[in-house]
A and B are shown apart, each in its own frame.
Chain A
Amino acid sequence: MNYTEYLPIFIFIVIAFSMSLGFALLSGFVGPNKPDKEKLSAYECGFEPFEDARVKFDVRFYLVAILFIIFDLEVAFLFPWAISLSLIGLTGYFSMMLFLLILTVGFIYEWKKGALDWE
């Protein structure tokens, strides 16, 4: 294996992050700095912020995250399968179809349970 092709990517990452650090620092340096109590309070349409912002939130967001993990993992399985399908032939094709079938059954169950509904 040859990893020299990844050197430009590494250099790119270093340059990109140092650029964004530079932007942030330089602008903090150039701009004025006159903080006061009102300016530094969280924005709430002109009201005093009256409780912590980290409140309870809808459990559906959590559900979406779990569904995302399931389906994104599936995509991760599909990537190597897709590019080597010509080598693994019909066996590979049918085993993936079986996997997709099982997943589809789960997906239909979620749908019927109303996990995908938003009010």
Chain B
Amino acid sequence: MKVNSMDNLFQQLNEVLIISFYVLLIVGPLLIAVAFLTYLERKVIAAVQYRKGPNVVGMFGLLQPFADGVKLFSKETIIPASANKIIFVLAPMISFALSLVAWSVIPISENLVLANINVGILYIFAISSLSIYGVIMAGWASNSKYAFLGALRSTAQMVSYEVSIGFVIVCVLLCVGSLNLQDIVLAQKNYWFFIPLFPMFIVFIISALAETNRAPFDLPEDESALVAGYFTEYSSMLFAMFFLGEYSAMILMSSLGVILFLGGWLPPFDYYVFNLVPGFIWFFLKVGILLFIFLWVRATLPRFRYDQLMRLGWKVFLPLSLFWVFITATVLVFFDILPNFYG
């Protein structure tokens, strides 16, 4: 009996170790991808503006992100005297950790997923809502006017666009009939959802820009008005963690867009040659395209004014996506083409 329970314990410990290894297998490449995304961003914007971009550290400047990382890491961590110290330190940690945690349910290909839970999309929705806490805690704890105003704007913007993202997800769910991310991808076997739900795809992309505080919706960090927004008072690694969190959230939003609208790991056409390419390559290719759009938009468009931003969220996207939920449900019900997963 005693031996048995010991065996059992070892087995469970072994399982935990294996899972931890898989987790590191996701987090490691993700952080490297984030590092190179910052490099890619500078290169893409440089190319748009007919400059060269970083090209000194390493070949083609490829080691630039690591040089930046080391620099940030070895800087002094300044915690303002008037700040609430514990919340101040906790805020970037929450931002960073939450942007990683959502990755546990993302299916990279048919069999490559860490946790295949049946409410995957709800989990991602919940985690992305939680990331607002990092912002508001940072703004409050800093006890600085710029940080406070930046955090207020940022949270108001994020919650506004989250509503439209919710409606967009409901539209997709109506066409799938399941909350599981694998099911959502497999339901797009015949055609990807961005074809029938094209307006919602556009709403999703633009809301994703606003949700991750990216240009042209990067008002919270409007340099000319609010310095650096909610992370004005941050320095060193605490600042870097906000930065990493933002870029990792960008990759996450792109992956979500690929899963919801661009057929996840499925090849664009069901030909033999396309099927030879492993699924995760298609997945990363599509994520790369969406990420490029993020960077391209930043290099091209001027920043919105705050009232324009709120008007777009509440007066355009909210009615439009609500209306589209109505349209999708009506078409599916009256043409009797509802998906039936549990019947």
Please give the residue numbers on chain A whose beta carbons come within 8 Å of chain B beta carbons, in ascending order. Answer: 5-9, 11-13, 15-17, 19-21, 23-24, 26-28, 30-35, 37, 39-45, 49, 52-55, 57, 60-61, 64-65, 67-68, 71-72, 75, 78-79, 82-87, 90, 93, 96-97, 100, 104, 107, 111, 116-119
Contact = CB atoms under 8 A, between A and B. Distances in A.
Contacts of A54: 140, 143, 148
B162 A116 contact: no
Given A15-B20, A78-B325, A83-B177, A44 B144 contact: yes
A16 B328 CA distance: 38
B238 A7 contact: no
A53 B148 contact: yes
Nearest to B237: A27
B333 A53 contact: no
B159 A68 contact: yes
13 contacts: A15-B20, A16-B97, A19-B27, A20-B93, A40-B78, A40-B79, A40-B81, A44-B146, A72-B159, A78-B167, A83-B341, A90-B333, A93-B330
B233 to A, nearest CB: 6
A71 to B, nearest CB: 4
B93 A21 contact: yes
Nearest to B118: A5
Nearest to A33: B76
A87 B74 contact: no
B95 to A, nearest CB: 9
A42 B342 contact: no
Contacts of A24: 77, 89, 92-93, 237-238, 241
Which of B26, B81, B122, B314: most chain A Cβ within 10 A?
B314
Contact of B310 (A21, A44, A86, A118): A118
B112 interface: no
Interface residues of B, number: 95
B74 A83 contact: no
A87 B176 CA distance: 14
Contacts of B197: none
Contacts of A5: 115-117
B179 A79 contact: yes
A11 B104 CA distance: 10
B128 interface: no
A27 B78 CA distance: 11
B52 interface: no
A63 to B, nearest CB: 9
A24 B89 CA distance: 8
B236 A27 contact: yes
Contacts of A60: 156
A53 B152 CA distance: 13
B96 A43 contact: no
Contact of A72 (B19, B24, B142, B166): B166
A75 B166 contact: yes
Contacts of A96: 329
Contact of B156 (A12, A45, A61, A86): A61
A69 to B, nearest CB: 9
Given A7-B19, A39-B78, A52-B143, A20 B329 contact: no
A118 B148 contact: no
B310 A116 contact: yes
B335 to A, nearest CB: 13
Contact of B326 (A13, A45, A83, A100): A100
B177 A86 contact: yes
Contact of B105 (A9, A107, A119): A9
A118 B238 contact: no
